Every structure is written in C-alpha cells, then in structure tokens.
A and B are shown apart, each in its own frame.
Chain A
Amino acid sequence: MIKLQVEDLDVFYGPFQAIKNASLDVPQNRVTALIGPSGCGKSTFIRALNRMHDLQPDVKVDGRVILDGEDIYAPGVDPVAIRHRIGMVFQRPNPFPKSIFENVVYGLRIHGENRRSTLMEIAERSLRHAALWDEVKDRLEKSALVLSGGQQQRLCIARCLAVDPDVLLMDEPASALDPIATSKIEDLISELQKDYTVVIVTHSMQQAARISDFTAFFLMGELIEHAPTRTIFTNPRDKRTEDYITGRYG
C-alpha cells in the first residue's frame, strides 16, 4: 500500500532548480532510502515532504505530495498539522536545551497535553521505542545536552515518536555519529518500520543496502531510478545508477 505519493515535484532556490520533476511512491511500513552524491538534491527532496521549505522565504515548491490521498501542498492545508503527521529527524542531533523528559514531551505539550501521568506514560513508551529508556530512566530531569551524540539522536527520534506521526523522515540521521552509535540507530530503524513508514536520506550505500526495502537514486536534482533495494544494487536499469553504486563517481 502506498503511504506517500510524490508527483512531479520541483524545488527552486531562487532561480536555481534543485529538484527536477521528481515522482516517487513511498510504500507503507517500509523503509525507503534516498541515495546519491553530495549536492544531488536528496536532502532538498526529503525536506519537501513535510513542508520544511516553507520556513525559508526564497524557496519555491511545485508539484504534489499526497499523504493518504490528500495533497499536503493543496491550498488551505495547514503545514503545522502536516508536520504533526510527518515527523523529521535531522542530520545533526538537535535536542532542545531542556531536560530529557521535556524534550520527549515537547510535541505533546504544544498540542495542549499537560497531564503529568499521560506525559510520563508516553515519554516512557517513546523512549523505550527509541531504545533509550534504560540509559536515561534514572535521569529524566537532567539536561539533554549532557547525553552523547548517539543518545541525543535517539532522543530526537523518541521526541518524534511521542507525537505519533504516520511517516518518519530522516535526513542522514547517523552521519554525525560513530560506528557503534550508527549501528544502534540502524537497528532502531529496522524496528520502527513495523509501526511507521520511514524515508531516510543516506550518503552510505552500505547503510541503504542494510536497512532499506526500496531505494531511490538522485543525481543532479533528478530522480534517476527507484526500485526495490535488492534490484537497485544487483540489477540497476540505468547506466548512471550502475556507475554510482560501483563507485565510479560520487
């Protein structure tokens, strides 16, 4: 079943076209990886999926992104409501300078939930889900900034899970982390696809091969090829995809 349908997406930074007419189907409860060399537009693409480009004044987005049958760029759609349903984890861990607990429940508080028992229950569930509970359960009131980079990133994932989104977008979530922290995040992603639809940008082909079910290859703003990950890595249709995964450029 298709969760998210991208149709004819163009993204412009001023006069520069960063994404050219990209279309992609994202299946539900699967991990879709976006790969490609630096500057190919994969981060630009993923940020269009929850309207993060709205925050920059000189970025223009054309095309349709259809979530459960509804175009999130249609007039009258509230981007705030969309971001509630499509969560995002960023390249660098970006916890708020608040306590671990307040970080996890931030999304709940802004939606008006203030009952301590509910917050506590959801915080524990989200932290467990993000495989962080055992490491922080005794120090929930401590600042999130004292955690290691890998723990901070899992905290950011827990923070996303707490608002119970349908789709999780991850923009190179492990690129700022060491190998051990990276493998924890990868295990977590495989775990998360049972409950969520995941789209992940990665510059590591090995990572895409390890964790994703589908892979889309971007080059210079174009979506070149999109197929099951196994197919992309063993039998790519396009010459450029083959050149990239065999390491001829990128």
Chain B
Amino acid sequence: MLLWTAAIGVLVLLAFFIGYIVYLGAGAISWHFLTAPPNEAKAGGGIGPEIYNSFYILILTLVFTTPIALAGGIFLQEYARPGPFTTAVQFCAESLSTIPSIVLGLFGMILFVNVLGWKFTALGGALTLTILNLPALMRMTQEALTVVPESYREASMALGATKWQTIRRVVLPSAIASLTTGIVLISGRILGETAALIFTAGTSVSVGRSAYDLSPFHTAETLSVHLWYTHSESLIPDAAKVGNGSALVLLAMVLIFNLSARFIGRALSKRFTAA
C-alpha cells in the first residue's frame, strides 16, 4: 500500500512537471523559434543552433565515450583477474564518477580552454563530458555483462571458441539490450548537462562563422546551457518565453531520443538473439 502510494506519488509529480513545462512552453514554440538563431539584445530570437549544438556535442561525446567505456568494462569484467590492479582501477572509476560536474567543467576549462588554448569549443565540451560519463558507462557495461549467464560462456568455450570469439559472438549480443539502455541513460545526461559545458563549450553559438559550423572547434552553446543562460544572464526582453520554450524542446528531445533508442535496442536484440 505504502509502495503503491509512493509509486503513484512519483507519477503525479512527474505528470505535474511535464504538464507545467508544456503549459509554459507551448506558447513559445513556432517554426521560427525552432530554426532561427538566438538574439542577444532584441526579442524574437530562436534556438536553432542550440538544438544543433546539443546533438553535435551528444554525438561527439558518444563517439569518445562508448568505445572506451565498452573496452574498459569488457576488460574489467571478462579479462582482469581480481587483484590490486583491478581494485585500483575500480576505485579510480568510482571516485571519478562522484566528482561534481561543475568541478570537471572547471578542470575542462583549465585544460582545454586555457592550457591548450582552444577557447570555448564543442570538442572541449565533448571531452569534458567524456570524462564525466566514462565511469558510469563503464560500470553499466560491467553490469550488463554480469547478467549474461556463465553457462553461455562455458558452452562457447567448450565448442573450441577463444575468449574473444565468445565475447563477440555470445556475450555482447546477449547484453546488447542492457548496453543500449546504458547508452540511452548516458545520452539523457549528456543532453541535459549544463554546468560542465558553461565553462568548456561556451554560452554563445558560433561567433563570426556559420551558426551550424561543422568544425569541432566552434563555440557551441547547447540547449540546456541556453536555458540556464536566458534565465540568469540574458538581456533579451522575452527571456522567460525563450527559456520556457527551450525547456519544452529539451524535454521533447530527451523523450524522443529515449524512445527511439529503446526501439533500436529492442530491434538489435531481436536480430542478434532471434528471441
């Protein structure tokens, strides 16, 4: 009974949040708002480049994070023998995952913006987010591999497969659904991450060049940073409206991304396991 109440309470709270964001933001949404560049001084700016930057940084971060996290998780779970080295790696990863994102943001600023002299760039932002999310995705990879029954590995090895063949042909395909879920969860965090990006990717869209710059060295304000910026720093008269609209678009983006990734995960899982 208590659990039911708690579950319903969470649902009601969530519904209220979503409803409120939709209520406030719906009025701001228009084709112009979704595609136009932001305006620094006057009303009527849009969020087109911010949406572009959000996905640009998301994809760049995933390109860095996924292979490293998968490799690390596979190594720790399947190859590393228990011992001081493994414990040390685990401990470091866990420590890394507890660092607040603002601290990593400042670290990223010192390293990428100042020492390397890149200024505010999408690349610096993506690398900072990589450091931020690597431990979590590595952990999730390990969890996903733990769930794969030992009997699959035994069966494969007993048929004369090498360890790597076993991992590639049996273990990873069986874990593909949980791996996809892990990547989706991480993606949601990347899309919503703000603090670490303010100091690394900047609070403005590409200055002096195309707002849809393909180079990773462009200043890249994301939608969530824009949301923070308009509400706290901005000079534009319609800041509240732009902020509310941005919040709704961000919410929709995360939702659509999650649903489609889940769908793809299930399709992949079906393909690999004939389930």
Binding site for B on A (CB under 8 A): 50, 52, 55, 57, 80-81, 83-84, 87-88, 90, 92, 94-99, 102, 106-107, 109-111, 141-145, 156, 159-160, 163
Contact = CB atoms under 8 A, between A and B. Distances in A.
Contact of A106 (B81, B82, B156, B275): B156
Interface in B141-184: 149, 151-162, 165, 169-170, 173-174
A92 B154 CA distance: 12
Interface on chain B toward A: helix, strand, loop, or mixed SS? helix
Nearest to A160: B159
A171 B154 CA distance: 13
25 contacts: A52-B154, A52-B157, A57-B82, A87-B159, A88-B158, A90-B155, A94-B149, A94-B152, A94-B154, A96-B155, A96-B170, A98-B173, A98-B272, A98-B273, A99-B274, A107-B160, A110-B159, A110-B165, A111-B160, A142-B274, A143-B274, A156-B155, A159-B159, A160-B158, A163-B160
Most buried by B among A87, A99, A107, A160: A107
Contacts of A95: 155
Interface residues of B, number: 24
**Which 6 residue pairs across A and B have the least CB separation, nearest first?**
A84-B160, A94-B151, A99-B274, A97-B273, A88-B158, A107-B159
A23 to B, nearest CB: 24
A95 B149 CA distance: 11
Contact of A90 (B81, B154, B173, B275): B154
A57 B81 contact: yes
A163 B159 contact: yes
Nearest to A111: B160
Most buried by A among B82, B157, B158, B170: B158
A25 B85 CA distance: 43
A96 B273 CA distance: 8
A106 B174 contact: no
Interface in B103-157: 149, 151-157
Nearest to A165: B160
B274 A97 contact: yes
Nearest to B275: A143
B151 A110 contact: no
Nearest to A89: B158
A102 B274 contact: yes
Nearest to B169: A110
B274 to A, nearest CB: 4
A81 B161 CA distance: 9
Nearest to B161: A110
B174 A110 contact: no
Most buried by A among B152, B153, B272, B275: B275
Nearest to B153: A55
A236 B110 CA distance: 82
A81 B160 contact: yes
A145 B169 contact: no
Given A96-B152, A102-B274, A156-B155, A80 B161 contact: yes
Interface in B50-87: 81-82
A54 to B, nearest CB: 9
Contacts of B275: 97, 143, 145
Contact of B158 (A50, A102, A109): A50
Contacts of B156: 96, 106, 110
A50 B157 CA distance: 10
B158 A106 contact: no
A123 to B, nearest CB: 14
A106 B151 contact: no
B162 A97 contact: no
Contact of A83 (B151, B159, B174): B159
A163 B156 CA distance: 12
B151 A92 contact: yes
Given A109-B169, A143-B275, 6 more contacts: A99-B274, A106-B161, A110-B159, A111-B160, A142-B274, A159-B155
A73 B152 CA distance: 24
Most buried by B among A83, A109, A163: A83
A145 B152 CA distance: 13
A145 to B, nearest CB: 7
